[in-house]
Structure 1
């Protein structure tokens, strides 16, 4: 059984993109690149294995035909998509449907997603949610082009995190680079595109009816409550994925415990893990996938590592680290003193 897989990166042209991602991933392009899909089983851009006995095979091929790698995961295609977005200009204002609506109209999954701000220029902002609480009021704002009166603009900075559930109106502003973790779906309803035109001089299609069908009008400004445990922050936990950020000050021991695969993304610098007594490097800005048979591994104290799973143990069961052992020891000492 191959325990660790590394993958190719797929670059996607976007009219709001730039040239940073092509340069970062060593690919020549004279086009505006807005997205780097660093782990994808989506038909619009599949990751290809770069190492071991599965080298040359696509992620979705493995997911469908080598189930021993993925364990209890049970979807029609690999369920997650991880990407980096380089927004040089503001994206369109959009919203995503839930699974039920997306399956009925597109035979695809919905699109819950989350954003981690990797960098942001001074004064950058996103759009998140809306100020009106009824479909009628929002439709009136659309008809009268009163966008600035109904959309929530939220200032952002590096290392901010935002959960973006289905039904949430949102847009990424210019000058922001984001790590996005989402359901593997490209079903997007565009509400407003700032009257921009594409390379052919045409405005992009809007999806007003569909958007009004799926908007959650109870969504207000984002409320994020992170869970912390030693060197680990749990950024989000929902029915589709769990995302943890680890900045190891000492060795961090990670337990799987779920009969599921594990995804690792290294930020800022290469990160080394120890797996079955052997060291592996997760290269900066790239991902690795550990098979479901990897029951535990160790993160060495360097860099910053994001851990993504469909389901995860609670923080105190999944992670063990020296600083938490010391904390527990002294807490017990003072308790009995």
Structure 2
């Protein structure tokens, strides 16, 4: 049960039943009672407890002198009656907190452990899935997404390792949060965006297509607008924002690679994700180059040959000494 519910049951409800609340507290309790049949039952139980305790105080106002007038030992009877009433009061004082605790534990069902699910993609493959709230996710190559079987409470939280495109179902009462291995996260209500956070990489990037998101990292919070791409460098703890159409960033989900004046290093990163390959750059003269072009069913060799024709980039495969190594190595020289 949420801390909010516990505070209402333990603090406000007893004072509400006694009539000892402010107008604001009264409205808050009554709103809580109207939220569900379960809340109503809890409030009714506590009200009955206090009604019962009120009958004890009524006994103070009963004139028992006439009833005991024919008894010789009036002092003894008076003391006995006082002791009896005192005992009832003590019992009521002890009983009410115990019953409130009982209501918290028995009448309000405890939250069950929610099963976590994980979806992983193989190298060179992509997949799509729908989360319990209807949010659609496209998952890129060598990526994983961990999410609960159902979203409970006031937060919809998932964990991403790799790259994914989210189309989040809007729900103002449940924020949608994507966390990453790099202590960076994105918070949204309803929007579409691309997020990249590979464990092996030194950057986390978010491209906002529509809606609003808040990118949160060690460097603070940045509120993004549609058409913006944020790149957070983990090593320098710096966030930079660029304008983009988003076409190149989300083309992977449609099986395409689109370069639009894409810097050399970013182009290699895109090819690394798509073809499960490691690049070794031994010639830095290409660092300032930019690339433009669209590729759909092209092999890596074809794309690199086009790079060679347009920019003179030389490349070759490097034989791996480890036969179990699943990734190919390509040298740019």
Query: Scaled by the length of structure 2, what TM-score is found?
Result: 0.24
Which structure ranks higher in relative contact order (CA pairs < 8 Å, sequence separation ≥ 6)? 1
Structure number with higher helix proportion: 2
Structure number with higher strand proportion: 1
Query: Scaled by the length of structure 1, what TM-score is found?
Result: 0.24
Q: Larger Cα Rg: Structure 1 or Structure 2?
A: 2
